[in-house]
Amino acid sequence: MYQSTSYLIAVDTKKTLFNGMYINPSSPTFSYRTARYKGKNLLLIGGGDHKTGQPSCYEDTYGILEQEAKKFYPNCEVLFRWNTRDCIPLDKIPYIGPYSSTMSDVFVGTGFKKWGMTLSNVAANIITDEICKKDNKYAYLFKPSRLKPIKNGDEMKNMLVQSANSLVLDKFKCANMDFDEIQNNSGSIVEIENTKVLIYKSPEGKIFAVKPICTHLRLFAFLE
């Protein structure tokens, strides 16, 4: 499996909203639903997906969701932003069932590819049947031990290339730039008086500076 990051915004549209949950069939893909907050319905728009670890920018993540909201509700207000990570199997089918042939009493349900509310119900039914020693005609489809990456050779190749490009040794190279060269809503590690400093610029241009050293493990931090 690989990890995929997606984004969500909660919007006060200042309008009466629809009922239900929707997803568009085109690309880029967006999901639309509502949530109750302080006596009113907020619009939740999700999307902006990319593989976790790949470089991303505000415009292609939260920004594209805000554009989608403004398209329908020009006077709306974005109240909250957050993101999540999901497990995506190479063949896009979840792993549900016995963890392994040597651990028959341990079961797994994972790789729901962002459809957790529906596929977790599938997992609950299959695993319940497994525990109760009942046949489930769908169990073979989700068998965790079916891993055959060769069936999705293109995706397997992408994962290997990305892994090679993400080797940690390459991240220790410090960026050779000054504050003015750092774009808004991005960051870099710079050297100031022989000391490495992690600089982040907010979307508004406000500068934040921290020591790029983990206080627990004393490891050097790096930016994607």
Distance CA(62)–CA(30), nearest Å, equals 12
Give how far the C-alpha of residue 11 lies from the chain's centroid of Cα atoms, to the nearest Å.
20
pLDDT at 206: 85
* Domains of the chain, first to last: 2-85 (3.30.70), 95-151 (no CATH), 169-210 (no CATH)
Helix residue ranges, H only, the chain: 62-72, 116-131, 153-165
Distance CA(42)–CA(10), nearest Å, equals 6
pLDDT at 214: 59
pLDDT at 169: 41
This prediction has a pTM of 0.64
Q: Own/partner pairs for 27-34, CB < 8 Å, 24+ apart?
A: 28/64, 30/65, 30/68
Distance CA(15)–CA(3), nearest Å, equals 36
In the block, tokens 């016995």 appear at: 98
pLDDT at 184: 87
pLDDT along the chain (224 residues), means of 10: 93 92 91 94 95 85 95 95 92 91 90 92 96 95 77 64 52 54 80 75 84 56 43
145: Cβ contacts below 8 Å, ≥ 6 apart: 98, 100, 101
With beta carbons less than 8 A apart as the criterion, state whether 43 and 125 touch: no
Which one, of 216, 182, 213, 207, lies nearest residue 195 by Cα? 213
Distance CA(112)–CA(95), nearest Å, equals 8
Can you tell me whether residue 190 is helix, strand or coil?
A: strand
